[in-house]
A = this chain, B = another copy of it.
Amino acid sequence: MKTGDFNVGNREISDAVIRRLPRYYRFLGELKDSGTERISSKELSEIMNVTASQIRQDLNNFGGFGQQGYGYNVELLYKEIGRILGLTKMHNLILIGAGNLGQALAGYVNFEKRGFIMRGIFDINDKLFGEYIRNIPIMSINQMEQFIKENNIDMAVIAIPKSAAVEVAKKLVDCNIKAIWNFSHIDLDVPAGVVVENVHLSESLMRLSYAMNTEKYGKEK
């Protein structure tokens, strides 16, 4: 399942709404941390730079936690969106690829705060075996399959050149990994029941290039 509609309980939620949910979660977290107890869709829309009607529509998908004349209870909404996003569960991750990008990803302590615990890092460079990034051991890729079985791993991060990514993804699927966060610049072909989230950086850079160039065209008119 890579794109299309998702399902929460009995509801069908569009991909576009799902794409926006983490952003709601981030803003609500900041409001909560700053001591805000409730907020109207209008106030939230001003902070988030989207329309109030968009916010009401989006949040209605999840039963709507707002009350007329009261607004949204920030903590309640934050918790509920966290639950929907699966952040109330703990996930055990492994990382494949201890290059610069892998090291950056392994260094993010914020992921752990959200319940994503990195248990092991795998690479083919034997100079790295036995090293640690933030207490996380770097091991040989040959040990990966056994490690997954013994450590209840359910998610994997792929940060290796695309030439090796397909084979590694296949191994991960064989080991019953259910979710792959893919930073390799290739689309992975996975069976039903396995989810992939791609972060294709060069495609993101091209979108920026496009936007800049069309912005220029706009100005020249």
Interface centre among A22, A199, A210 (most CB of B within 10 A): A210
Stretch at the interface among A67-75, A79-87, A121-129, A142-150: A79-87
A107 adjacent to chain B (CB < 8 Å): yes
With A49-B187, A104-B104 already in contact, 19 other A-B pairs whose C-beta atoms are closer than 8 Å: A18-B211, A21-B206, A21-B207, A21-B210, A22-B204, A23-B203, A25-B206, A85-B206, A85-B213, A86-B212, A108-B202, A110-B185, A110-B202, A178-B216, A179-B209, A179-B211, A180-B208, A181-B208, A195-B211
Contacts of A48 in B (CB 8 A): 187
Number of interface residues of A (CB under 8 A): 66
Q: How many copies does the complex hold?
A: 2
Residues of A within 8 A of B (CB): 1-2, 6-9, 18-19, 21-23, 25-26, 48-49, 84-87, 89, 91, 99-101, 103-105, 107-108, 110-111, 114, 116, 154-155, 178-181, 185, 187, 193, 195-197, 199-219
- Report how far A80 CA is from B139 CA in the complex, Å: 45
* CB nearest neighbor in B for A116: B205
* CB nearest neighbor in B for A5: B214
Contact of A215 among B108, B195, B197, B216 (CB under 8 A): B195
Contact of A207 among B18, B180, B206, B218 (CB under 8 A): B18
Given contacts A195-B211, A201-B199, A215-B195, contact A206 B107 (CB under 8 A): no
Return A175 CB to nearest CB of chain B, in Å. 15
Indicate if the CB atoms of A199 and B204 lie closer than 8 Å.
Answer: yes
Q: List, sorted by A's number, 13 A–B pairs whose CB atoms are closer than 8 Å.
A: A7-B214, A7-B218, A84-B210, A86-B209, A86-B210, A91-B209, A101-B104, A103-B104, A104-B104, A154-B212, A179-B209, A197-B204, A197-B205
Contacts of A87 in B (CB 8 A): 206, 209
Contacts of A206 in B (CB 8 A): 21-22, 25, 85-87, 114
- Report how far A26 CA is from B180 CA in the complex, Å: 21
* CB nearest neighbor in B for A206: B22
- Report how far A141 CA is from B68 CA in the complex, Å: 48
